[in-house]
Amino acid sequence: MDFSAFSIFHILFISLLVPYLASSSAVRDPESVVDEVHKSINASRRNLGYLSCGSGNPIDDCWRCDPNWERNRQKLADCGIGFGKNALGGKNDRFYVVTDAGDDDPVNPKPDDRRTRRERSYIGRAMHYHTLLSNIIVHGINIHDCKPGGSSTIRDSPEHAGHWDQSDGDGVSIFNSKNIWVDHCTLSNCQDGLIDVIHGSTAVTISNNYMTHHDKVMLLGHNDEYTQDKDMQVTVAFNHFGEGLVQRMPRCRHGYFHVVNNDYTHWEMYAIGGSANPTINSQGNRFLAPDDSSKKEVTKHEDAPESEWRSWNWRSEGDLMMNGAFFRQTGVGASSTYARASSLSARPSSLVGPMTATAGALNCRIGSHC
């Protein structure tokens, strides 16, 4: 199988049951639902035990100023936010630090790494093929120039290796999985999507990533007919969408999507789009429109007549619109609906710059702050 060049800082994982928001048969006041969600969010943040690096980024302030990060890698698992915050990685189990990008045998690791086969079997070499497992943290990877791979035998558990059809050439493809966190990765120039979340996946956070030079950046939802994605919940937070990007930052279908405190400095068609009636809650982002006067709109409602998409619940709250950027809000948006698309408290859009300044894979040095 043909794999692209990449480097990996560390990847953590562990199995964990997925918590879901409980629903009540009794009718509840929508505003009380929102208040309850935000109280839960704030309580979770207080319990993270921040080290207070002062960046304003809640993930980074939780772990990056620890000079002993190399000995405390599992601390990262305490710092998750958003819908994927329960992806605890290797917090209470073994974890694997990849040091050799040349080890690309998807069935059997190199002989000297057999002691870590259990960990390696969950990695999904360069993320070219689908993740079928849950409770995974993918952190600190450079992923670029991914190409479709031919059909192959791939190990998908410690005990099983099965046949997989040709891959699409995605950077990261999350398939039928729960509790997934993709953080501090740098992605560019893949054949299909940079990050795709499809086929009933949910409880996913995509944070602190730096994405450049790509067309269809991020797909959240398989297709308009795949209604199993109606329960999908994805947080897209603290990412920098940089130069050379065209569209899908993200493109959403069916589910509930919280797009919060991201920096959008380039798009050639649109930034945030969707179809099949997704709920999109855009909060505290910074949108810098391109100079082309025809590309000022942040949003794109796709694959439906206006009479239909006018009812889709898309909201912009506290977003900073620059150089003529504008967000087309639609729907009436009951508070209880947006509560399902709320996963953390947004910071002011004026803080997006420092919060996303170190998005992407980090160059951490042992013995100093990361």
- Residues designated catalytic: 248
Other Cβ atoms closer than 10 A to 186: 22
Retrieve residue 45's tokens.
């943040």
Nearest-10 Cα torsion for 325, 345, 238, 356 = 90
Question: In terms of Cα–Cα distance, which of 103, 101, 126, 102 is closest to 113?
Answer: 103
Other Cβ atoms closer than 10 A to 162: 12
Q: Which amino acid is at 130?
A: H
Cα 214 to chain center, whole Å?
16
Question: Which residues, in sequence order, are bridge partners of residue 259?
Answer: 236, 282
DSSP state of 359: -
Q: Is the Cα torsion angle 361, 219, 313, 42 positive or negative in sign?
A: negative
Question: Which residues, in sequence order, are bridge partners of residue 216?
Answer: 247
Question: In terms of Cα–Cα distance, which of 42, 43, 77 is closest to 59?
Answer: 77
The burial of 283, by beta-carbon neighbours within 10 Å (0-12 exposed, 13-18 middle, 19 or more buried), is given as buried
DSSP state of 348: P
Question: 258: Cβ–Cβ under 8 A, 6 or more apart, which residues?
Answer: 82, 83, 233, 234, 235, 236, 237, 281, 283, 341, 342, 343, 344
Contact yes or no for 151/166 (Cβ under 8 A): yes
Query: How far apart, in Å, are the Cα atoms of 355 and each of 75, 141, 225, 347, 348?
Result: 20, 19, 37, 9, 10
Cα 104 to chain center, whole Å?
24
